[in-house]
Each structure stands twice: as C-alpha cells, then as structure tokens.
Amino acid sequence: MLALATTASLALSLGGPKVKVVFTDCDGTMLTPDHVLSPAASKMLHTLADAGVRVVPATGRARAGAWTDAVLTHPILNNGVPGVYINGCSGFTEAGDELAATHLPPAVVTRVLDWAADAEAAGTGLVAYVGNEALHTQPAFIERLAALGDSPPRAVAEIGTDGVYKMIVLCEDDAIAQRLRPKLEVLLDAGAELTQALPGYIEVVPTGASKATAAAALLDRWGLTWSDALAIGDGQNDVPMLREAGTSVAMANAKQSVRDAAQFGCASNADDGWVEAMERYVLS
C-alpha cells in the first residue's frame, strides 16, 4: 500500500479523489475503543485535508461535553463545524451556523417519561437531550455517558416536553435493551422511532431525522451529491447514510445488519480500521 503522503499526492495529481466529503461516525468508528483519536487517525485527518477531502463528524452525541476538547479541537475538525449531531437532529455548517433542528413530539416525550418512572422500567436510566446538554431525573447508569466523554448529564427535578432532540434509555446490558424495545415502540407515534448506536442504549428519535438528512442538507449547501460522499460507521443509526452514500464502509466491529447495508468493510476501530478505509476507498 502506498504511503499516506504519496497516496495524497497521487490523488491531487489526478485532479483530486472521487470522494469529496467523508461523513464519519465517531464512537466505534473514527475513535478508538477508549473514545479518542489514535495518532494514525489524527495524521490521516491532515492527509485528507491536504487531498481536498472534507471530513464531517456524524454522531449521536451532542456538540458539547468532554469529547469536544478531546476530539473536535483537532485542527482539521475545526471545533466540530461542519458536523452532524444527535443523529441528525442538530447540525452545523462550516461557518458555525446551526441547521434546522428537529425535535420529538411532546406527546411522545410525555409517554416515555411516564414509562421511565414506572416499575416496568426499573433498572434503567433515561436521559433527554435538550439544547447542548443532557438532562436526567434519576442517576441510574448515568456514569456510562461520562465514560463516553459525552455531555455531562445535569440532574433536574423535571424534564420538560418541548425542545427535546432525543431520549436515551440506558440499560444494564443489550439483552435487557432488546427485551424493552417492543415496550418502547408502543409508546411512539408517527413522529418518533427507535434506533441504536451502542449496545444497551436505546434511542428515541424524531421520525425522518437521521444522520443522512442532515448530511444531505450539507451536501446541497456545497453543491455536491451523495455520489461525492463516503459514509462510514458501525451502528444502526449509521445505516441511513450508509445506504445513501456513493461509497459506504462498515467497521468490522459493526453488527451484521450494519455490514449488510454497506458496500465495503474494514478492520475494527481497535485496529485503526478507519484509517484503512480512508487509504483504500478515498485516497487510492
């Protein structure tokens, strides 16, 4: 395989790579299992920029929290602008202007909050994303979000029903999450649906809002189409953009359903699979 500098130079000499934009998931994809950029990934971000390729974080996280200091401050990521956040419910242009936000129907928020307070949901935790922060009324499993470097959850006496981007039900393990999914599904209506990025985390998100919808808005802004884009990820919430992108890659650590949605695969995030994918499908 060509060295990074040589590969980037070749791409430039041929008029630039076919892929103009990379929409990349973060946890489980661009980041290591410890939720940071590896030295190789950091170097690759510079290589892609030198080749004229824009890298856009597309994540279920909010653009806030400890991870902004650990990841988004990378000079190429430019403090997370442009970026796609909260599974496409929030996004930012390269100028830092926010894309049109999408929120959950207040009636759905009410039903999920009532369910979370019931004995049936015992042993779970719930977090609601409002603005740039995560809110909770009970401490169960909240420390897991801190372990991800996500927005530090703030304890409140009550969670309001307006302006909620998404809600996460935190479970002790993925077996419990899968058992509870049908119980949550009956609480939804046409304005909300379930998705999942990580084992044990069930996300309630607005219908029609996805990483793909926010990514499409950015592509349109730049006069590009999905044929100019590569999407890469490992979670169910990455599937919409994997299906749309002209080039799509699933991580080896992804579930089979995610790998089935992608054209190509690469090594796991523990083995710098993201770097491998950039070399093979963007620069080569």
CATH 3.30.1240.10 maps onto the chain at 106-206
Q: pLDDT of 182-223, one tens digit each?
A: 999 999 999 999 998 888 999 999 998 999 999 999 999 999
> Topology of domain 106-206, per CATH?
3.30.1240
Q: Compute the 3-state secondary structure of the chain and give helix, strand, coil in percent, each to the nearest 5.
A: 40, 20, 40
| 132, 64 Cβ separation under 8 angstroms | yes
Average pLDDT, the chain: 91
| 199, 173 Cβ separation under 8 angstroms | yes
> Rounded distance, CA 135 to CA 154, Å?
5
User: The tokens of 211 are what?
Assistant: 């990483």
Mean pLDDT of 107-127: 89
pLDDT at 126 over 90: yes
* Strands (DSSP E) found in 199-258: 201-206, 229-233, 247-251
Mean pLDDT of 254-263: 97
Mean pLDDT of 118-138: 86
| 224, 21 Cβ separation under 8 angstroms | yes
Give the phi and the psi of residue 240 in degrees, each rounded to 5.
-55, -45
The CATH number of 4-101+209-283 is 3.40.50.1000
pLDDT at 34 over 60: yes
pLDDT of residue 16: 59
Q: Using only C-alpha atoms, what is the Rg of the chain?
A: 19
pLDDT at 59 over 90: yes
Q: Which carries the bigger pLDDT value, residue 2 or residue 63?
A: 63
CATH 3.40.50.1000 maps onto the chain at 4-101+209-283
Q: Which residues contact 135 (CB under 8 A, 6 or more apart)?
A: 127, 128, 129, 153, 154, 155, 156, 159
> Rounded distance, CA 251 to CA 41, Å?
15
Mean pLDDT of 48-53: 98
Percentage of residues of the chain with pLDDT beyond 70: 94
| 150, 70 Cβ separation under 8 angstroms | no
